[in-house]
Amino acid sequence: MANPRLLRYPALNATPPTYRMTPDQIYDYDLRIAEKKLGEDPKARPQDRKVIQAFMKRIRPQGISIGRQAKYVNLLHRCAQLIRVPFSKAKRQDIEDLVTRLADHEFVVRGPIGLDWAGSFTKFASI
């Protein structure tokens, strides 16, 4: 318990704030907005949308943060816009072309250990 003489000082009686921002709020990662943009985009093929949504459904229970999930949705949405064929029919040449297009658009995502977007896309493609 605090010293009774110090209770008269308001600064010492201040309670810690009950609201604390999470990293997802600080960096403005919103999964709902990312999924909404994916669903409303006319350029994204319906079969690619289904593949991305299935991937997200699979990684949700793995404890991946909301911010990381939003990042994956945005990355895969951009890939779906740039790739010429659906994900399920993509060949090696299509993936190489996609990587070149992403590099031309200067779209790079770096993780805390220096992993770039190619690692994320490889994880997605392996599922």
pLDDT confidence of residue 86 = 92
Tokens of 16: 């810690």
The string of pLDDT tens digits covering residues 44-100 is 899 999 999 999 999 888 988 888 888 889 889 988 988 889 999 999 899 888 888
Question: What pLDDT does 48 receive?
Answer: 93
- Comparing C-alpha atoms, which of 67, 66, 74 is closest to residue 124? 74
pLDDT score of 103: 75
What type of residue sits at position 112? P
CA distance 37 to 48: 14
Distance, in Å, from the CA atom of 103 to the CA atom of 100, rounded to the nearest integer, reads 5
pLDDT-based confidence at residue 31 (cuts at 50, 70, 90):
confident
In the chain, domain spans: 28-126
